[in-house]
Amino acid sequence: MKHARSALDEPLRDTRTLVIQLRDRIADLIRDEGLNPGDKLPTEAQLTARFKISRPALREALKLLEQDDIIYVEHGRGRFISAMSAVQVDRPITVFESVTDMARQYGYKPHNKVLSISEEAPEATVAKALHLKSGERVIRVERLRLENETPIMYCVDYVPRSIIPTRLYDIDWSGSLLSLLEQYKNRPRMSAASVAAVMLPDDVVARNDLRDFGPALLITETCFNAAGVPVNYAIDYHRGSHFTFSLVRK
């Protein structure tokens, strides 16, 4: 039986530069051929023949893979597959995505309960995170995410009022805030985040009957649009019993 034409055989001609494409192709090859840590990478001659590229371009691509710890060099022996190719993690915490998408990846289809929406003068922490000028106001959205009847996240989001000037009650706050910000031309693209283990604040527990929530993974993050402007400050308590994030450390 013949193999279907694989992505590896496609000509290299997308918009990224040759070296980056090559790096990705070689990484694909390592995965698709099931090469394991310690296995030898095909030789330069085999790779240049396979990808129909020059040796200098190949060497640049191999340097990138070496820098990413995908391969390592043993002088005189060749290039080998390193640990990083084995260190695959699903759903790394370092991927920026909406809470809605993140929860879905865990198999949850949470229902968003909006607890409160208000326009207010920001506290100092919020003003600083969002680079607000004196007098600028924010929208504060407080939500609980329930999986069936179980609360799995408690979230507070701040958005500069100037970004969403619409009347608050004209907006459906139960959906993805990321999508909403996209409608207002300010889709967050990345964030600076911190992670800690905490209990929910006492007043939140009391007001919302969350005594059984237990320890929470708190992710506090400032989200930036593509131009580097902070557009959302998010405080997300993930119920400890329901969320485990993965990551690669190197």
Pick the binder of a copy of itself from 87, 115, 204, 235 (CB under 8 A).
Answer: 87
Decide if residue 174 touches a copy of itself (CB under 8 A): no
**Span near a copy of itself by CB under 8 A; candidates 2-10, 35-43, 162-170, 174-182:** 35-43
Ordered alpha helix ranges (H), 173-244: 177-183, 202-208
User: In terms of Cα–Cα distance, which of 204, 199, 188, 198 is closest to 129?
Assistant: 188
User: In one letter, which amino acid is 17?
Assistant: T
**124-163 footprint of a copy of itself as x/- string (CB under 8 A):** ----------------------------------------
CB of 156 to a copy of itself, least distance (A): 17
Listed in sequence order, the residues at least 6 apart from 148 whose beta carbon sits closer than 8 Å to its beta carbon are none
User: In terms of Cα–Cα distance, which of 5, 176, 187, 217 is closest to 93?
Assistant: 217
| Pick 29 or 171: Cβ nearer a copy of itself | 29
CB of 46 to a copy of itself, least distance (A): 21
Residue 213, exposed/middle/buried by CB under 10 A (0-12, 13-18, 19+)? buried
Lookup: tokens for 189: 């693209």
Let me know how long the chain is: 250
Residues that bind a copy of itself (CB under 8 A): 16-17, 19-20, 36-38, 59-60, 63-64, 67, 69, 72, 80-89, 93-96, 189-199, 214-218, 221, 224-229, 238, 240, 243-250
